């Protein structure tokens, strides 16, 4: 066998065992708890960090930022990588808060599947619906996990009906709960009819999973068991069976029930991911052509993050491997500039912890530290011809603040911090000749982003800032000719977006915007992608 053929076979085999997925949910549905439980069940970590409430999250592996730990919410994405029964899982945790929709959008551009987490009492919530739209837009197949079944909640058939009616996915349960939410007795596997009894742990500890025969379960549980059997019969009659082609085609969703906090039903979710979630496939390049997995290395930056390690104060570019075999030390080319990039310090990430990575394959996420010039959406490739993947669009910001250093003597730190946050996409930085570099305008999808900026500027870059709101609510793209005219109008201000060089125009409100569009139809005033409008 030739060396080239051996490498192609190696890439194909390694890609086939990878599962790269994200967990999406509404805040407080238990996403970080489930993320931890998945890693624990796969023996990637020894103890789950999420226990009894938001004040106790000091050990949550995926929530590494100080603000996340103190406030009990996920406000940045992270990567967990672990082996499970021969499969290699790359779990990309996503921010749960709606103010960080843009970060979630970037993460979902880098995965092959998603787990949609539902609260058993609340079902589909606003943020879940928005994130489902992102997955649908990107043809990302979805598995559904109904969480918190150990607490009071809704009827399982009602939840399945909601999934079908509100988002149009055919729900296909892989297991079925015995006992109503809050009076959870265990789970029946629809594949083989086996029953696993739920025995709660003491004080919220991990539950015991006790396998029982159907005969013993029926004798012990009585009417509760009979009800579950009737519901299973109904599911069969209505055709609630898994069709793998319908799942990968975005028509159907496998559904599992469980409780992430006591870690019950989580192993069944891992089994479903390794069995049904799609492995990496050829991804479309900027021209719309699919690049085969076995072609030379290519990848795309979907996130840049600094401040993960206080000891190093460096930044890390997260790259999804799209094709080929990555080897540490190889020289890559940046698609936007043609500049070479050496990768001798490549790393793999688990939460905030890093280890050197020597090789990686399609579906993997690698981190390149201190690679100045790498921004979100950048394509990287080996050799020739050039490879470019579609840009990851920025959302239309809805909140705007002028940012100034509290201590003018720390302008160097101030400038470095603003440039770093801009390159990460933590906020959009808008500049104009009128305001100058010492007073850039920060633009964000949600106001919580400004809190993150203020916290990081003070604690990471040693430059506390003052933020003052601006009375604008609408943002559009424009061109140089139109910008010259728009800048003279009342209730309008024109800026250049630092990261991309785009000209953007801010309007006081939607009425002012509509009036100008009506009075000056010749001006270029172009809509940007809005959060929730994918």
Show binding-site residues for GTP.
93-97
CA dist 496 and 487 (Å) reads 12
Cα of first residue to Cα of last residue in the chain, in angstroms, is 47
Residue among 422, 435, 426, 436 at smallest CA distance from 497: 422
Query: In Å, how far are 321, 323, 327 from 359, measured between CA atoms?
Result: 11, 13, 5
Residues marked as binding?
93-97
Token reading at 41: 């069940």
**DSSP output for 319-343:** EEEEES-EETT-EEEETTT--EEE-
CA dist 217 and 224 (Å) reads 10
CA dist 121 and 182 (Å) reads 10
CA dist 224 and 185 (Å) reads 9
Burial class (CB in 10 A: 0-12, 13-18, 19+), 327: middle
Please tell me whether residue 282 adopts helix, strand or coil conformation.
coil
CA dist 7 and 4 (Å) reads 5
Q: How many CB atoms lie within 10 A of CB 191?
A: 12
Residue 418: phi and psi, rounded to 5, are -65, -40
Token reading at 383: 């050799």
Query: In Å, how far are 9, 281, 346, 383 from 89, measured between CA atoms?
Result: 20, 15, 19, 28
Answer yes or no: are the C-beta atoms of 356 and 317 closer than 8 Å: no
Please tell me whether residue 288 adopts helix, strand or coil conformation.
coil
Peptide bond just before 385 cis, omega within 30 deg: yes
**DSSP output for 127-153:** HHHHHHHHHHHTT--EEEEEE-TTSS-
Q: Give the start-end residues of each E strand in 110-218.
A: 113-119, 142-147, 170-173, 175-178, 186-189, 195-199, 208-212
């Amino acid at each position: 066998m030739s060396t080239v053929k051996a490498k192609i076979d190696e890439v194909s085999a390694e890609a086939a065992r990878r599962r790269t997925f994200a967990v999406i949910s509404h805040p407080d549905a238990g996403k970080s708890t489930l993320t931890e439980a998945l890693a624990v069940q796969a023996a990637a970590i020894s103890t789950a960090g999420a226990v009894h409430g938001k004040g106790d999250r000091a050990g949550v592996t995926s929530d590494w930022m100080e603000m996340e730990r103190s406030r009990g919410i996920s406000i940045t994405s992270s990567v967990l990588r672990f082996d499970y029964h021969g499969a290699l899982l790359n779990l990309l945790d996503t921010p749960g808060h709606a103010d960080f929709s843009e970060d979630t959008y970037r993460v979902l551009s880098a995965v092959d599947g998603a787990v949609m987490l539902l609260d058993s009492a609340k079902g589909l919530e606003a943020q879940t619906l928005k994130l489902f739209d992102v997955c649908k837009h990107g043809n990302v197949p979805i598995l559904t996990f109904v969480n918190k079944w150990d607490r009071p909640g809704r009827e399982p058939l009602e939840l399945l009906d909601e999934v079908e009616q509100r988002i149009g996915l055919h729900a296909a349960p892989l297991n079925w709960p015995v006992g109503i939410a809050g009076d959870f007795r265990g789970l029946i596997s629809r594949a083989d009819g086996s029953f696993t009894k739920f025995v709660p742990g003491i004080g919220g500890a991990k539950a015991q999973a006790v396998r029982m025969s159907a005969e013993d379960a029926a004798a012990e549980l009585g009417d509760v068991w009979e009800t579950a059997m009737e519901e299973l019969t109904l599911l069969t009659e209505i055709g609630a069976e898994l069709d793998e082609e319908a799942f990968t085609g975005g028509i159907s969703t496998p559904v599992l029930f469980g409780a992430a906090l006591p870690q019950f039903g989580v192993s069944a979710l891992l089994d479903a991911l390794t069995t049904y979630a799609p492995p990496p496939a050829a991804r479309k390049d900027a021209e719309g052509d699919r690049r085969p997995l076995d072609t030379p290395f290519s990848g795309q930056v979907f996130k840049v993050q600094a401040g993960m390690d206080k000891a190093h104060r460096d930044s890390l570019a997260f790259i999804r491997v799209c094709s080929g075999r990555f080897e540490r030390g190889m020289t890559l080319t940046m698609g936007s500039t043609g500049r070479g990039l050496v990768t001798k310090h490549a790393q793999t990430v688990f939460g905030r912890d890093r280890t050197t990575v020597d090789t990686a394959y399609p579906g993997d996420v690698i981190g390149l530290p201190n690679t100045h010039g790498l921004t979100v959406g950048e394509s990287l490739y080996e050799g020739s011809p050039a490879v470019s993947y579609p840009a990851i669009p920025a959302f239309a910001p809805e909140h705007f603040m002028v940012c100034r250093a509290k201590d003018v003597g720390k302008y160097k730190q101030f400038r470095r911090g603003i440039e770093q946050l801009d390159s990460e996409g933590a906020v959009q930085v808008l500049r104009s000749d009128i305001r100058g570099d010492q007073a850039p305008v920060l633009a964000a999808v949600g106001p919580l982003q400004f809190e993150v900026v203020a916290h990081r500027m003070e604690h990471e870059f040693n430059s506390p800032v003052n933020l003052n709101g601006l009375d604008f609510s609408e943002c559009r793209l424009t061109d140089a000719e139109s910008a010259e005219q728009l800048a003279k109008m009342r209730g309008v201000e024109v800026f250049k977006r630092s990261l991309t060089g785009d000209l953007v125009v801010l309007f006081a409100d939607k009425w002012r915007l509509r009036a100008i569009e009506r009075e000056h139809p010749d001006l270029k005033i172009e809509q940007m992608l809005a959060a929730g409008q994918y």
